[in-house]
């Protein structure tokens, strides 16, 4: 007997996980409401908690490096134009 796996959208998973995180309803109630297992509710809630810090992370060094590269390219372009090589 094969099990059927449903594919849920990221938005659906987020909605369920946020509802679970709010604490207004228990996992069992949310599972019945959304037609999924209690274990799935708890897994998605755990994934949301685990991955939440990534939402606030910024790769500042990469952004800084990209800005420097753009400035460098503008300077090179200006020098080429000054030398009549545009």
Tell me, yes or no, whether 78 lies in a domain. yes
Tell me, yes or no, whether 42 lies in a domain. yes
Give the model confidence (pLDDT) of 10-59 as tens digits.
989 999 999 999 999 999 999 999 999 999 999 999 999 998 887 777 66
* Tally of domains within the chain: 1
Tell me, yes or no, whether 15 lies in a domain. yes
Tell me, yes or no, whether 2 lies in a domain. no
Tell me, yes or no, whether 4 lies in a domain. no
What's the pLDDT band for 71 if we cut at 50, 70, 90? confident
**How far apart are the C-alpha atoms of 11 and 8, rounded to whole Å?**
8
Tell me, yes or no, whether 1 lies in a domain. no
pLDDT value at position 54?
A: 78
Question: For residue 31, what are the domain limits?
Answer: 10-82
Tell me, yes or no, whether 5 lies in a domain. no
Residue-wise DSSP of 32-53: HHHTS-HHHHHHHHHHHHHHHH
pTM of structure: 0.61
């Amino acid at each position: 007997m094969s099990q059927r796996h449903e594919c849920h959208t990221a938005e659906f998973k987020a909605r369920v996980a946020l509802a679970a995180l709010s604490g207004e309803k228990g996992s069992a109630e949310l599972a019945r409401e959304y037609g999924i297992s209690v274990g799935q509710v708890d897994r998605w809630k755990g994934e949301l908690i685990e991955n939440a810090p990534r939402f606030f992370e910024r790769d500042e060094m990469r952004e800084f490096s990209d800005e420097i590269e753009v400035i460098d390219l503008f300077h090179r372009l200006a020098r080429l134009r000054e030398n009549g090589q545009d």
